[in-house]
Structure 1
Amino acid sequence: MNKKYLFITQATISTVLSVACLNSVKVKADKVDTPAVLLQQENTAKKSDDPLLNGKYVSNGYTDNGYTYLNPTNTSSERASSYHLDTKEGWSNDLQTIMYDSENKEWVIYYLHTEKVINGDAGAKQNWQRVTTKDFINFSEPTIAIKDLKGDIGDAWSSAWTGSIVVNQGNISGVPKGAQVAFFSGLSNKDNQQNVWAAWSDDNGKTFSHPLNDKKIILDHYWPWTSINRSDERDPAVFYWHGKLVMYIAEGDNIGVYKSDNGTNWSNANENQTDSKIPNSVFFKGLPFEAPVECPVLRSMTTASGKTKQVLFFGAKSPQAKQTTGTYYVVGHLDDKGMFTAETEAKRLDQGTDYYGANFSGSSDLEKADDSLISMGWIGNWNYTNSGIKANQEGFLPDSNRIGTYSLARKIKLEDNLTVTSSPITTGLEEKTTKNSEGQVSSQKAIDNGYYSLLNLTKQPANSKYVLHFSTKDGNAYQGAVRIIFNQGKDNNTLILDPASGKYRLDGESSELSGNAANYYKNGYESGMGYINDSGLKGTHDFTITVFTDKNAIEIFFDNGQTATVARFCVNNIQDVAVDAQDESKNNKYDISYSQVGKDLLGFEEKETSTSSNDNGHSSSNNSNTTGANNSNESTTSVSNKNESKTDEETSSTQDSKIGHKRTVMHDSWVYDAKGKKTLVKIKAGAAISTYGTKKINGKNYYSLASNQYVLATNVVGVKRTLRHNSFIYNDKGQRIKRYFLKKKKAVVTYGGAIKLGKSLYYIVDKNMYVKKANF
């Protein structure tokens, strides 16, 4: 599918309409039953004066204080994610099909790819790319599955757009039974107009190099019995129904339905042109529609109670309902001819701004129902993507030439109430040291608008996972808003949830966008307040929000199966994170854990990592393991002084042995058994652990972790040593940290035994901070 001609116009029109409606939205705000807390219009984003976040102290080709990439190319890495599927070059958007290869025991994913973007024109050399994965976290190098045939003779395709794949059941002419056949739209070499082609694969879907019908069009929008508007004919979804091939295809205001006995010759599914269309009043039931519809996909799904329904997924938008482009679904059933009847109103599969061009696993024979599907979506939105995304935070050229990221894979189910729920598939996602903060909301530092600061973290990895659990002490409904803010220099994104109503607001700013695109990203349809949605959590007393962040994405998962996905464009690999909550009734509790997930990101690394790591970002991470801590502005010196006061005896207590105490391991630590014998388990420095009292084994003090598991106490709380000389502090490379030194006769807490850095022995005195052993 290509939006080159259609969406440039529509993006401009929709943005102008949204701007024109800003004043009217203000007037109507009281009429849409929006909670007052979501209508607060002051900028809640917490700007940072951190010089790193203003573009300094960076390397790897970034410069000019604005995150400018010096020479963005079709393959440059400024937008490479940590654990999401990205394009390796050029642009990419719609997903085609997700299939399981039982022979190789891996999943195969196809997506629409544009090899080269010229001045924002995504129309050059479009093809299908193919990747494989076993866990939806790690992906193979992409290969081309369907090539563009630009310049070919006749009416072959000059570009390959969105479509679908079926396995031949034996009735597709000229194709071996069991072979995969791709049906796809594109532009014709003959007249550069939208049409449909097909090709089959002789190598298990690696390439589709055998065109049906001698490369000729199999469905043409010019034919008098096809598309009513004589322009749209794209994104064919082909499936089997009662042994016949059926095609659902996007035709502007309608979805056209066609049938075929042999895969090459098609006709209207229901006798005539008009009766073979599914109008938007059916597939978009309950919402005002604005053309076009795109990317239809139909699957049969079974509910938990055993009911089988057909679910029609598609791309659309409803600006009149204050909804952006997104992937929607409607549940119903098919008649014998393959015509769809809706039994529910249309709903968004993901309520964020940027889950589009989605596709799904599942059988292409709709007489076989699936109890769950795997879904992935393109994290993008044509209202700003096609306007050019700058490689800097100043909003000026150059544009990035490599753009295209896909969501985490999600397992989706059809519930008995005929709603679809989603949960992330992350079993293959590496998760580093998890840190935790918990307590009563009203016991934390009070800030603006009745909020209390629960977390205030700086210099966190942009590739992270946050699990936020909120509940009430008495089991009554949760009262008071929850707010999460992500900052990356000039960019920010905010989620505010009002559990009393279940509604939430998403808004943000992106300085890599400019003009109408930047306005759309910030203002949406809510007059500067982003997008207001319903989580379905109204009246809950206990709920969890899980947020995955990566270079190009924020994905939010509510514990009732609802989701919200937002694209972001800052190429920095760190972020500031604030979590705040209200608690007027003094009844609310929280438990928050967070960790880096996925491999380390590329780009925007500090030139002097050790120096900066000793600023506020370090102390925030260290204090986050203290129950109820407010991780804000504590310096390295105060961290050291706090640790100096701890001894084995002082930290051991009856309470500790019963409920546990959260601590940070400061030195790589082996785990021992009750006899002091070393096990095969090793805990890395910086890891968070829970301890349950102390135990003396063979004359040494250990902390108890769990049944028959112990670590040396000196690796956790350390021992006091007095300096005999003035001492510099060094980082883990043995390099002096120029800003810090310790005076002789000072008592300093050291952790574990001395370690060798270069040619000298050092004691660990804090995270990434070392003092020479000879100075004690």
Structure 2
Amino acid sequence: MNTMPSNTDTGRKPLDTNLPAGAAIAAPATMAGTARALAIRRIIASVLCLMTALGMGIASAPRAVASESNGGGEATMTQNTVASGLTSSQFDQFYHYNTPQGFLNDIQSIWKGDDGYYHFMYIQNPMYKHDGDGTVWYHVKTKDFVHYTDVGVSIPKFNGVWFSMATGTIIDNRQGFFADLPEDALVAYFTSYIEGVQKQFVAYSTDGGMSFEPYRDSAIMSAPNDHTDFRDPYMLYDSESRTMMMYLAEGDKIGTYASKDGITFAYVGATILNAGALNGKDLGSIECPNIKTLKDPITGEEKTLLFFGANGYQYGSTTGTYYMVGHLDADHVFVGEQQPKRVDDGSDYYGANFIQDSETQITSLAWMGNWGYSAKDISDDNGITYKLGSISLARRLTLSGVSGDYTLASTFVEPTALFDTALTGNASSAAGSQELLNITRPSWQKAELTFTNTDEDTSVDGHITVNLVQADSSATIVYDADTATYTVTRSTSRLTDGDGVYEYTKVIAASAGNASPRSLTMQILQDQSSVEFTVQGSGRTYTMLRLSTDKQSTIQVSTDGHNALAYTLNTINGADAQPSPTPDPGTSPTQTGSAGNIAGQGDGTGSSASDTTPSSGTSDAKQATVRAAGQKTHSTPAGRLSDTGSGIVWPLAIGSLLMAAGIMILCAARQLSRSGVRALHGIPHAKPQLQGHPHLRPSER
């Protein structure tokens, strides 16, 4: 039992009002001086209270903003985490999900809750590269994969059973497999590294995934040593045989295990993914396995799909999310029938997860990042930032093609509810290199670019170049209409690590699969720190991280073929609409939809332009001010932390100075008070002795 100590317990003594032998009573003049000192003390104390309250209020203002906008479920962030770049970053996205603190990576299971929400978790390191770092599972919910609400940490780190959280799976108990748990329980299997050894743990939740408790107080499976890959369990329950299956990433294979109780698992086989099984080219270390089924929407043929993370370094690519089409054998081991293909052709669609929407459709989310550079030192205008990571646009995946040559067709879940008024226009060119569009817009933007040949009876030809230019970053797409292939290059000044720059600036080549079309439409969705695009009708997507703090992006489009361009540009608002800058005289856009809130300016389209001027706008000076300040002009969406940026420094500094001054005054007041009291009683001055406290360490006294 913990009780408060008495004066005697602490060694403190009540004030001794008995005068020492031989002490004289103070003279009236001395007492009057002491009274004045006590009056001064009261005034000083009043000023102290005012200054301290003011200082605390100013210093805590950013903290209050962060806490209020967090949407609940997350502990209030401290001033230290804000100041150290853990909760504030100029890389925060406008309409994608951002982690509220630290570093975000792999997406965990996505499931539909009884509350009507889709739920998922992701790996978060809230103290990334700080004392006490380590990963947890952070819980988020959404109804539409556009608007997200933070729930908070559901599975913590360092709980006495496991250490940091790695990837795993959440399954429900509706089949009653776990007899000692209610049917509405959720069960999580996951990896944790214990002294470098990859081990599997089990936890359960009876509150809808808000919190989890250990199902066993130790690991249920373990790698034999600290250099064996044995992680990221994917769980699949077979109701017919009442068997729980586990699929583990084990280097160049996926091990398969079976259990009748969910605790003791037996090895039954593996899916080999080494060079021998993949036509001579391996895919590096396999991670994050996942299994789903899809039916061909035309023939009804059902196929099993194995998803996994891998490295396409031997295929001219980088890390990404892959899939194989095949089936499960009698032991539930996956057997591939086709070679692996990428879910997304870009460099930053990793740690993905999936939910089965129907027999013919899957929805997927992924971490937009790459271990080649995302964990390197990345700086915004305030220095190195430790708040990094956002989640991709959701994708709808369906099976297309023919038996024996199936592919996944991918389409974006676009945030159309957040689209601002459209800006449209068109331009055309003669043969030879010709600029068709050059316009500066907010960095959070959708561009729909449709190309046709100037000769309406001829296909789109030559090369089409789309350049996305910012003050500190660029991304260039060069599309060959004759072969339906393209290359992507990018650069940034926000990353200086040599290895990181090498990985970030790699040229990636991909194919859209539709050569020499009569019409070609590219849909490009930009946000503050990402670019995602697709060629309409291809079923292929490309996702890339964009390390930039510039709030504006210049879209430059050119061609060396006989091509005409029709474009539609939409600002995508995270919350309130952006103000509209006045277009340059060289640009003649057409406004469609409701009036106002267009954010477009430019310096010319191509020749033969046929456009009209929008009806509203704001000054370039205001846009320049917003850009220089490096801050958003819209309010923070619900469930997001405010982007306080460098504005947090002055309130903290002023508040700290006021509180320091108050403390100094307090010390002086105490000394004055002590002197006055001692003078009043005729007590000689003496250095006070440090009194011990039985419940405090020396550093806390």
Q: Give me the TM-score of the superposition, normalised by structure 1.
A: 0.63
**Counterpart in the other structure of 2:485:** 503
1:141, distance to aligned residue in structure 2 (A): 2.2
Q: Displacement of 1:321 after TM fit?
A: 1.6
Matched, 1:410 2:409: no
Q: 1:523 to 1:474 in 2, by over 3 A?
A: same
The aligned amino acid for 2:477 is L
C-alpha change, 1:419 and 1:286, in structure 2 (3 Å) is farther
DSSP-derived class of the 2:420 partner: coil
Matches within 5 A, 1:169-318: 169-188=175-194, 191-209=195-213, 211-212=214-215, 214-222=216-224, 231-241=228-238, 242=240, 243-269=242-268, 276-281=269-274, 285-286=278-279, 288-305=281-298, 306-318=300-312
CA distance in 1, matches of 2:451, 2:415: 24
- CA–CA distance in structure 2, aligned partners of residues 130 and 390 of structure 1: 27
Per-residue deviation, 1:79: 2.0
Paired with 1:482 and 1:321, the residues of 2 have a C-alpha distance of 24
Query: How do 1:593-604 and structure 2 match up within 5 A?
Result: 593-599=568-574
Q: What is the CA deviation profile of residues 393-419 of structure 1, one whole-angstrom value per residue up to 9, with x for unaligned ones?
A: xxxx93211001110011111114310
| Structure 1 contact 317–323 (Cα < 8 Å) conserved | yes
One of 329, 337, 359 as aligned partner of 1:343? 337
Quote the offset at 1:474 in angstroms.
Answer: 3.5
Q: SS at 2:163's partner residue?
A: strand
Given the alignment, which residue of 79, 89, 112 partners 1:100? 112
Deviation at 1:632, TM superposition (A): 5.1
- Provide closer, same or farther for how the CA distance between residues 113 and 322 of structure 1 changes in structure 2, counting only shifts above 3 A: same
* Residues 173 and 197 of structure 1: CA distance in aligned 2, closer, same or farther (over 3 Å): farther
Residue 553 of structure 1 aligns with which residue? 530
- Alpha-carbon spacing, 1:731–1:285, altered in 2? closer, same or farther (3 Å): closer
Is residue 385 from structure 1 mapped to residue 391 from structure 2 by the alignment?
A: no
Asked whether 1:320 is paired with 2:314, we answer yes
| Cα offset, 1:70, TM superposition | 11
Cα distance 1:159–1:70, how it changes in 2: closer, same or farther (>3 A)?
closer
TM-superposed CA distance for 1:124, in Å, is 2.1
Is residue 461 from structure 1 mapped to residue 458 from structure 2 by the alignment? Answer: no
Who is 2:513 aligned against?
536
What corresponds to 1:722 in structure 2? none
Question: Retained in 2: the 8 A contact 1:80–1:551?
Answer: yes
**1:646 matched to which residue of 2?**
none
In structure 2, runs of 5+ residues without a counterpart are: 1-61, 63-80, 593-599, 626-701
Distance 1:400 1:218 in 2: 37
Secondary structure of the corresponding residue to residue 519 of structure 1: helix
Q: Distance in 2 between matches of 1:164 and 1:491?
A: 37
Out of 551, 571, 574, the position equivalent to 2:549 is 571
Who is 2:53 aligned against?
Answer: none
1:340-739 equivalences in 2 (<5 Å): 340-362=334-356, 370-392=359-381, 398-417=383-402, 418-426=406-414, 429-442=417-430, 450-458=432-440, 460-472=441-453, 473-524=455-506, 530-559=507-536, 560-583=538-561, 586=562, 588-599=563-574, 613=581, 618-619=584-585, 623-625=588-590, 633=603, 663-666=612-615, 685=616
Tell me which residue corresponds to 2:663: none
Residues 633 and 70 of structure 1: CA distance in aligned 2, closer, same or farther (over 3 Å): farther
Q: Which residue of 1 aligns with 2:98?
A: 86
Shift of 1:475: 4.1
CA contact (8 A) 1:137 1:428 kept: no
Instruction: Please report how far the alpha carbon of residue 538 of structure 1 lies from its aligned counterpart in structure 2 after TM superposition.
Output: 2.0
Q: What CA distance in whole angstroms lies between the structure 1 residues aligned with 2:149 and 2:354?
A: 19
* Structure 2 CA distance for aligned equivalents of residues 398 and 732 of structure 1: 25
Cα offsets for 1:140-174 (capped at 9, x unmatched): 12411111125x2xxx2111111111112212253
Q: State the percentage of identical aligned residues.
A: 27
Paired amino acid for 1:292 = S
Give the partner amino acid of 1:96. Answer: Q
* Larger relative contact order, structure 1 or 2 (CA cutoff 8 Å, min sep 6): 2
* Whole-Å separation in 2 of the counterparts to 1:555 and 1:523: 17
Paired residues of 1:330 and 1:346 also in contact (CA < 8 A): yes
Query: 3-state DSSP class of the match of 2:236?
Result: strand
**Larger mean Cα displacement after TM superposition, 487-496 or 467-476:** 467-476
Amino acid across the alignment from 2:532 = E
Q: 1:135, 1:428 within 8 Å by CA — same for their partners in 2? A: no
Separation in structure 1 between the aligned mates of residue 182 and residue 433 of structure 2, nearest angstrom: 65
- Tell me the SS of whatever aligns to 1:520: helix
Query: Does structure 1 retain, via aligned residues, the 8 Å contact 2:320–2:349?
Result: yes
- Corresponding residue for 2:133? 124
**Structure having the larger proportion of residues in strand:** 1
Q: Is the 8 A contact 1:88 1:142 kept in 2?
A: no
User: Quick one: distance in 2 between partners of 1:436 and 1:386?
Assistant: 39
Does 1:149 pair with 2:149? no
Kept after mapping to 1: 8 A contact 2:422/2:591: no
Say if 1:387 and 1:145 are closer, same or farther in 2 by CA, change over 3 A.
Answer: same
4+ residue runs over 6 A deviation: 729-733
- Three-state SS of the structure 1 residue aligned to 2:372 is helix
Q: 2:197, 2:227 within 8 Å by CA — same for their partners in 1?
A: no
Q: Secondary structure in 1 aligned to 2:348?
A: coil
What does the per-residue CA deviation read over 1:701-755, in whole Å, with 9 as the maximum and x for residues that have no partner?
Answer: xxxxxxxxxxxxxxxxxxxxxxxxxxxx99999x9xxxxxxxxxxxxxxxxxxxx
- Give the AA of the match of 1:400: T
2:373–2:504 Cα contact (<8 Å) kept: no
Contact 2:192 2:198 in 1 (8 A): yes
Under a length normalisation based on structure 2, what TM-score does the superposition of the two structures give? 0.70
- Distance of 1:200 and 1:112 partners within structure 2: 17
Q: Which residue of 1 aligns with 2:124?
A: 113
Name the counterpart of 1:158: 163
CA contact (8 A) 2:291 2:307 kept: yes
TM-superposed deviation, 1:342? 0.9
**1:747 matched to which residue of 2?**
none
Would you say the 8 A contact 1:486–1:492 is kept in 2? yes
